[in-house]
Amino acid sequence: MILARDAVADVLAGCVDGRPSAGPDLQVLVAARHRHRQILDATTRAAVAGSTPATVVVAAIEAVFPTRVLSFVALAMAADAIVLTGRTARVVGDDFGMVEPIAAEDTLRHVQRVLGPHLSPRAVWFRNSVRAGVALALSVLLAKISGIEHAFWVVLATLTVLRSNVATTGTTVVSAMIGTFAGFLLATAATLAIGAHAPLMWVALPLAVFLAGYAPTAISLGAGQAMFALLVVLLFNLMVPEGWHTGAIRVEALTVGALAALAASLIMWPKGASAVLRAEVALHVRAASELTRASFDFLFGTGDAARVESAKLACVSARQRVEEALAAYAGERGQKRVPLAMWMPLVRIPVSIYVADDTLIALRHAGYGADGCPAAAQRVAQTARSVYESFDELADRLDDPRRAPDCTLRALIADLDMVAGAGNRHAEIAETTAACIDASRGDADVLRSSIGLSWATLWLGYLAHLRISTETPVNEVAANADAPWWR
C-alpha cells in the first residue's frame, strides 16, 4: 500500500509538472490483497477446525477489516492514477475491477452528458441563465420605453448589479447607485474646475481610466461605479462638450438598469443558490441511498449488476449538479445564512457513501456473499433497511425543512454508529453470525458468508456514523431554509 501511495503521488506530481509518469503497478497490490485473503480464509478454517469459540472467530474477522479497507482504497486510487496517465486500468484476479472505455465518446453523447444536467429547471445554471435573460429583456424594454440617451448604459447597469439572489442584488444596487451619484458629483466638480480646457481633460483621462479599472476589485463596486461615471463624463466632454449633463444621464441609466435587475431577482427564484443547493444535496443523498440499497441487494444475491450501474450513473449526474450549485453558492457575495463549513458535510457525505458501496460489491465478487448464513443475513438486511431509511429521511428533511426528525430511527442509527454508538445491534448480528458458524463448522460457504456479513455489518456502522455526523448541519440548514429573502 505504501508503494502504491508513493506511485500515485508521483503521478499527481507529474500532472502538475507536465512530465510523464509510469504510474503504480496494480498487479503487485492485487497479489498482496489476494495473498491476504488466502491467509484469512486459511486462518479462519483452522480456527474453526481447532474448536476456537465462534465469537473469537468473528472478532478475528472484524479485526482485519481496517486493513482490507485501506488496501481497497489504495487500489482504487492506483487505478485512478493509471487512468490519469492516459492508459486503461484493468485489474485482473481481484475483487475490485475498473475498465475505462478506450474508444472516444461520440459528440452527441458528450454534449448530452455535459449539458444534460444543466437543462433541468432545478439546475443552478439554468436558473441563473433564465434570470439574466429576463433582467436583460426588461432593461431593454425600459430603455426603449423611457427613451434614455445612451440606452446601452441601462443594459450595462443590469449586467453590473445582477446577482444570483435578490438580497445580494439589492446590496449591489444600493452600492452602485451611491457610487454613481458620488461619481456624478465628482464629475460635475471636475467639469466646473476644468471647464473647456481639453489639454487638462487629456491629462486627467489616464488617471480616470486606471481608477475605473482598479477601484471595483481593490476598493468596492460603488467606488468603481464612481470612477466609471467620472471616466464617461471626461470621454464625452472630449468628443462633444456637454458639461455635467452626461453624468446626469449616467445616473438615470444606471437607476433604470439596476431596478430592472432587482425586479428580475424578485420574480425569478429570489433565494438564489441556497435553495438550489439544498434541493440538489437532497437529490444527491437519495441517489447515494439508492446505490447503497442496490449494493446490499447485490451482496445478498437479490440484485444485479445492471441496477448497480444505473444507480452509479444517477450518482454521477447528481454529484455534478451539486458541485455546480455549491460553486454558485460559494460565489455569492455577502454574509451567508448557512456557512460553507455547515454545507460541506452534507455535500461530501454521498461521496463517502460510495466507498462503502464499492466494497460491498467487491465482497460479492470475492465470493463473500450472504447465502451461507440466512439468519445473520436477515438481521443485516433489516439493519441495512434502517440505514437506507435514515438517508432517505435526511433527504426528506432537506426537501421539507419543517419535517420533524424520526427519533426512533435516529436512536437505532446512533446505536449502530461505529465510533460513538453503544453497539447493541452490532453485537446481536455478531452473536447470530457466531451461532451460524457453530451450527456448520465444516461448511466452507458458511465461513465465507460469515466474513462477508461481518464486514458488511462494519460498513453499516460506518454509514451510521456518516448519518449521525450530518445532524448538526441539517438542523442548521433546516432552521434557515424558511427565512425570508430580505434577512
The DSSP secondary structure of 104-139, one letter per residue, reads PPPHHHHHHHHHGGGGSTTSHHHHHHHHHHHHHHHH
pLDDT at 270: 67
Find out whether 58 and 450 touch, Cβ atoms under 8 Å.
yes
Q: What angle do CA 136, 141, 143 make, to 5 degrees?
A: 95
Tell me the C-alpha distance between 292 and 390, whole Å. Answer: 12
The DSSP call for residue 404 is: P
Say how many C-beta atoms besides its own lie within 10 A of residue 75's C-beta.
26
Tell me the C-alpha distance between 369 and 168, whole Å. Answer: 54
Tell me the C-alpha distance between 456 and 368, whole Å. Answer: 10
Q: How far apart are the first and last CA of the chain?
A: 51
Find out whether 28 and 3 touch, Cβ atoms under 8 Å.
yes
Find out whether 161 and 257 touch, Cβ atoms under 8 Å.
yes
**Beta-carbon contacts of residue 107 (< 8 Å; ≥ 6 apart):** none
- pLDDT digit string, tens, across residues 275-298: 788 888 999 999 999 999 999 998
Say how many C-beta atoms besides its own lie within 10 A of residue 258's C-beta.
27
pLDDT at 142: 85
The DSSP call for residue 142 is: H
410-437 burial by CB neighbour count: b if 16+ within 10 A, else e? eebbbbbbbeebeeebbeebbebbbebb
Say how many C-beta atoms besides its own lie within 10 A of residue 56's C-beta.
11
Find the helix packing angle between 152-161 and 124-146, rounded to 10°: 150
Tell me the C-alpha distance between 276 and 114, whole Å. Answer: 19
- pLDDT digit string, tens, across residues 420-440: 889 999 999 999 999 988 888
pLDDT at 291: 93
Amino acid at 10: D
The DSSP call for residue 366 is: T
Q: Can you say how many angstroms the Cα of residue 56 is from the centroid of all Cα atoms in its chain? A: 42
Distances in whole angstroms, Cα of residue 339 to Cα of each of 151, 260, 334: 40, 30, 11
Tell me the C-alpha distance between 18 and 6, whole Å. Answer: 18
Say how many C-beta atoms besides its own lie within 10 A of residue 37's C-beta.
19
Find out whether 61 and 363 touch, Cβ atoms under 8 Å.
no
Reading the block at residue 171, the C-alpha cell is 446590496
Tell me the C-alpha distance between 323 and 276, whole Å. Answer: 11
Amino acid at 19: R
Say how many C-beta atoms besides its own lie within 10 A of residue 57's C-beta.
24
Tell me the C-alpha distance between 188 and 148, whole Å. Answer: 20
Handedness of CA 54, 60, 63, 67 (dihedral sign): negative
Tell me the C-alpha distance between 152 and 144, whole Å. Answer: 10
Reading the block at residue 364, the C-alpha cell is 460479492
Q: Count of residues for the chain? A: 487
Tell me the C-alpha distance between 380 and 299, whole Å. Answer: 11
Q: Which residues of the chain have pLDDT under 50?
A: 98-103
